[in-house]
Structure 1
Amino acid sequence: MSRRESRTRYAVLGALSIEPMSGSEVHALATGPLAHFWHEGFGQIYPTLRTLEAEGHVVTTSEPGVRGSRRRVHALTASGWSELRGWLARPVGPVAPGRDELLLKVFLGRHVDPDVLLGHLRTRRQALAVALERYAAIAAELAQDASPDVPWWGRTLGHGVAVASASLAWCDATIAELSVAP
């Protein structure tokens, strides 16, 4: 099993620890509240759910869906809970190396007009400002949520806010430097 698969496996188990969910609900969690630190696509979630079910870590039931359709809902079994808790207790692996095209372009910036880089930086800055607004909205939602998971979700949200704020500050400093550069 590759590292990517094993991490996906635990992300899916973790999602199902919140409550039983359909595959699309797991995906919505990955593209919503988890998106600032974890990404999973439909192409990863559904095969992982099938594998976890085959291994006895997840049980799948069929429930009524919208407009008479059926939806498949996945829930953790005792074995799934044990698998998740075992992984949670293991040491954290290294952070996966990232690929940030903006940083690569800044690194090679002497080969392009500074105005081009300024445009890229301003675009990133705007995206970071939008992310911070989204995080503020999530924080407001969490303040109204009675789930026992809220303190833990707030801690990961705090990381997203800190990273986005630091990146925004870096953008502002770099924009200022390039704006006065000869």
Structure 2
Amino acid sequence: MSDLKAETAPTLYRDGAFHQDLWTTLEEGADLSDMNNVLVPFKQALELFVARTNLPQAFGVVVGAEDDVAELAPYLDKIAVIDVSFPGFGDGRSFSSARLLKERFGFNGEIRAVGNYILDQMPFLVRCGVDSFVISSPKVRVGLERGDWPEVTNYYQPTGADGDKTIARRPWLRSKQSE
């Protein structure tokens, strides 16, 4: 039975390769006693921080698309991993959450994409600060196993990762020089 569970469990994809996912996602209200490498739901994490509960050394938070990551800002130094959830591939709120965590709040831990995203979105997620992907879609897995990684050469929206290269990638923003 445990072999079957391991085969059907999502796989972590990071740095161009598949890895074993060492984190366990807990249900709301689960007991954290004597646990490490656990991801807890957003609301429960906030309650634990406010109550000043002793947290496991390896502690993570699952952020839903509807959650306001600004509420985590005072506690980011206590968080090792944040899962940003995608309820549907057309729902872009978690793109914003990842970008805010990295660029505005300076989160240095790992941000993982979880849920319903597609292969074509993965390069954009990396630009927004996502470090790894929990692969649950068979189509995404097959594409990654084939070595597919969509090439995106032009971006409409700059990110903090672009630095000074932003204008070079967006020639339509260059000012016209007088003739």
TM over 0.5, shorter chain: no
> When the two structures are superposed, what TM-score results if normalisation uses the length of structure 2?
0.24
Q: Which has the larger share of helix? A: 1
> When the two structures are superposed, what TM-score results if normalisation uses the length of structure 1?
0.24
Pick the structure with greater CA Rg: 1
